[in-house]
Chains A and B, each alone.
Chain A
């Protein structure tokens, strides 16, 4: 096979039919109040901690104070004898009770991850024992009575040094701290670099931050000795199609584990597939024969959450022509995964979905090395690695503009992709877009010309440093699982199914209940989305739709939130289930109206006769007949009116064997332009916002205000990433930002009011043309704010290349450029 003729993808084979979105919509597109909200406003949210009953026991975890040490000895007798204590389980005992945690990384046996460390600890905060007691107070009292003798080992926290030969090994069995290395070429990289007139180079550093929702992860588990089955309530529910792995960890058959979704007080990725608390609670429940709650406290959630975000060192080369045309890019990235690698390098698979941004870059070399160090491991944080790629690419584009003497807006505009669907060099497709319209709208909302004038005036007249950032970047949505395994030539599990299911039940009066399967609420609004989509189908009020969440054991296949997939996938499932219900209702109505089914049309909440609109049956009239009068209908018609739809990923294709083409794996690609205006105080290094405009295109909007809320909220998190938030480990491996005193989440005073605009370029392939939009703000803001700061400091010859841009780092950069701060 030649590179010019990939096996899949770029020809468009495998694309679903192009849809017609011309239908008028009544509910989709309305900023209605969210149906979820009243219970939360009344203080009746029913979060995991609210479900603790007086008979529930409480678990607390003893965390390692050492970054790297062998566990030589445990003394637990005093803890076990303490008041109210029911059990003490050490890591070694836990290794008997539970199998290792599920791990999508390469060679999991060489970096075994357990719910508690068994023989040695690998980061500060790693759990070594758990106490179960009558109350959290008594459990924590007993933790202090456990004696652990550690034999400290040298720690490694620098990802580049971790890869050096002779560095302390995080996992001896791996014989290296490099858990994975691979380099891919897409397109003719050598030719593009040979023909380039200018190569722009940079080294960039993105430090780790994390989701840090205000509610931590928790689980309440019960083990029924009579049936040998677990019931676990948890706020971590996602990837439920893979919950068989959690059952394996707990050593029970899959059909003896029911995981039930509980509303989560925020996730931002950090609760995605976070099964460790559920496993710890389950293990303790079986050991004690009692219901056990394990709720992380904040220290657990900061230091032992398995969900820190990306931590990357980039060396990048961008091949350019002098006129500003981008030709090719070479990306060499080291990512500090911490002590384990639960998702493999899926974060980089994610980045490859949109690695060239909105630009017509023709070739890509992508080399990744996954370093293991003595830190809490990476998980998911809103963007899942794509936000880091956006930042890297926009930094490079700005640097190219500066080196070539081009305008940062013009260089973006001239390289925009304009024809859709567009296959990028990696093989992924961009389904639709209008990047120029987004850019123009954003510049207009930003008052771009005004701020450029102000920037000049304030610098000349008042000596102030104002910066205007302009970034144009992608937001891929609706992942296919290929991103996790196309790294391997012989993958262990080449799964592509990432389904989502909905059942709709029409009761005897025509009321509709929607059942979601293992699909979590965690601040997104699945109930509102489903209610609006059902209302659109059946011409009812969204507030009349009842939404129920169903557990994993006897539910239909579901994947849950992640990769901005929920709304698109739920829309497909609602559409499919609605079609089945309407088909049955049409047949029933035809029978009742004594006319052929094809002579009926759906209108105003029922079926009516074409050309004779007075002859009609409302859904409620049809439903009561179907519920109560089965014998009025033909023999083959069963009682009731309900249907389910398992909606599989609508557009994914397989990677080619040689991996020159990764196939389509993230096809519904949104776009945004952020334009922050900042002032940098060069005396203190403080960055303040003067204005902030953001325009997003996520296809057809379902609830514009909800999407706007995600844009502002995601941008607030992006502000944290850009300026404040960092899990700082010192050279000895101690975590210096282990509370909200040091890990600085932006308050209302650090987040400006955003001016938000929407552009709607419908996807040709999804119901109503919807694309995912949940991650957008954080996909864009770090890149945009870095661009603005660099623009402000350009007259001083200073560029910041490391996030977060703390006052300390800004002053250091100024000093390094000879400006005494």
Chain B
């Protein structure tokens, strides 16, 4: 018996995709297994840790408790879309500079959440970043260098936007 499937159309990191998926298929499995985008990781599988965070139409979601069919018609951004033209995104670069990662497993989710935070507030205080990233667990760093990295990236991103035409 062939499984019941639905057709979904969505954009992932700017690329359009049309796919057949089972209604129960999780978005994270669709991204990782069907599209090969293994940068989005699975942590707790019950929506608490934030490891699987991706952006859906610019807003962070937990892809381990979101069905692929719920992303029909949406635009998804994952960690693979951050670096452009062979250059790391300022957030990636500052995570490296500040050692805002150790094992790297929560990092893609942290980066995507940080993108959302800075899109909402390009000039946050350290306290605001701390509160905002409390959505995502990191078991290695104790968060301190992640917060430093987000603040440093925000400054660079503001400077770039100011000189951009």
Contacts and interface: CB of A to CB of B under 8 A. Distances in A.
Interface stretch (A99-107, A545-553, A639-647, A745-753): A745-753
A34 B99 contact: yes
Contacts of A714: 142
B104 A40 contact: yes
Contact of A523 (B98, B103, B134, B136): B103
A450 interface: no
Interface stretch (A43-51, A224-232, A601-609, A761-769): A43-51
Nearest to A718: B142
Contacts of A717: 139
Contact of B103 (A42, A212, A266, A298): A266
29 contacts: A31-B99, A37-B96, A37-B101, A38-B88, A40-B104, A42-B79, A43-B37, A43-B38, A43-B40, A43-B82, A49-B32, A214-B139, A265-B103, A265-B104, A265-B106, A521-B103, A524-B102, A709-B102, A709-B141, A713-B139, A714-B142, A739-B46, A740-B46, A741-B48, A747-B134, A747-B136, A749-B131, A749-B134, A754-B142
A298 B49 CA distance: 11
B111 A41 contact: yes
Nearest to A756: B144
B151 to A, nearest CB: 12
A739 B48 contact: yes
B41 A265 contact: yes
B142 A41 contact: no
Interface string B96-126: 1111011111111001000000000000001
A265 B105 contact: yes
A88 interface: no
Contact of B145 (A712, A740, A741): A712
A137 interface: yes
Interface string B124-165: 001000110111111111111111000000000000000000
B139 A268 contact: yes
Q: Is the interface of B mostly helix, strand, loop or mixed?
A: loop
Contacts of B107: 40-41
A49 B143 contact: no
Contacts of B130: 748-749
A297 B45 contact: yes
B14 to A, nearest CB: 15
Contact of B38 (A49, A212, A748): A49
A50 B80 CA distance: 14
A137 B4 CA distance: 14
A807 interface: no
Contact of B96 (A31, A41, A706, A712): A41
Given A739-B48, A751-B143, 20 more contacts: A34-B99, A38-B88, A42-B82, A42-B92, A43-B37, A43-B38, A43-B78, A44-B38, A52-B33, A214-B44, A214-B103, A265-B41, A298-B43, A523-B104, A712-B144, A713-B142, A741-B46, A747-B143, A748-B131, A753-B144
Interface residues of A, number: 58
B103 A213 contact: yes
A753 B148 CA distance: 11
Nearest to B144: A712
A741 to B, nearest CB: 6
B51 interface: yes
Contacts of B80: 42-43
B139 A49 contact: no
Interface in A236-271: 263-268
Nearest to B24: A137
A42 B48 contact: no
Interface string B1-28: 1000000000000000000001011000
A214 B45 CA distance: 10
A163 to B, nearest CB: 34
Interface residues of B, number: 58
A437 interface: no
A38 B39 CA distance: 12
A298 B51 CA distance: 13
Contacts of B25: 137
A777 interface: yes
A591 interface: no
Contact of A709 (B1, B99, B104): B99
Contacts of A298: 43-46
B81 to A, nearest CB: 9
A215 interface: yes
B60 to A, nearest CB: 15
B105 A43 contact: no
The 9 closest A-B pairs by CB, nearest first: A43-B39, A265-B105, A40-B104, A523-B103, A712-B142, A716-B142, A43-B79, A740-B48, A50-B38
B35 interface: no
Given A265-B41, A748-B131, A41 B92 contact: yes
A751 B142 contact: yes
Interface in A12-42: 31, 33-34, 36-42
Interface in A199-225: 211-215
A716 B145 CA distance: 13
A745 B137 contact: yes
A363 interface: no
Contacts of A705: 98-99, 145
A708 to B, nearest CB: 8
A392 to B, nearest CB: 24
A266 B83 contact: no
A265 B104 CA distance: 6
> Which residue, A41, A44, A745, has most C-beta atoms of chain B within 10 A?
A41
A451 to B, nearest CB: 20
A745 B139 contact: yes
A651 interface: no
Interface in A522-570: 522-525
A83 interface: yes
Given A137-B24, A749-B131, A740 B103 contact: no
B69 to A, nearest CB: 15
B147 A214 contact: no
A715 interface: yes
Interface string B39-63: 1111111101101000000000000
Contacts of A266: 102-103, 105, 139-140
Interface string A45-65: 101011010000000000000
B131 A706 contact: no
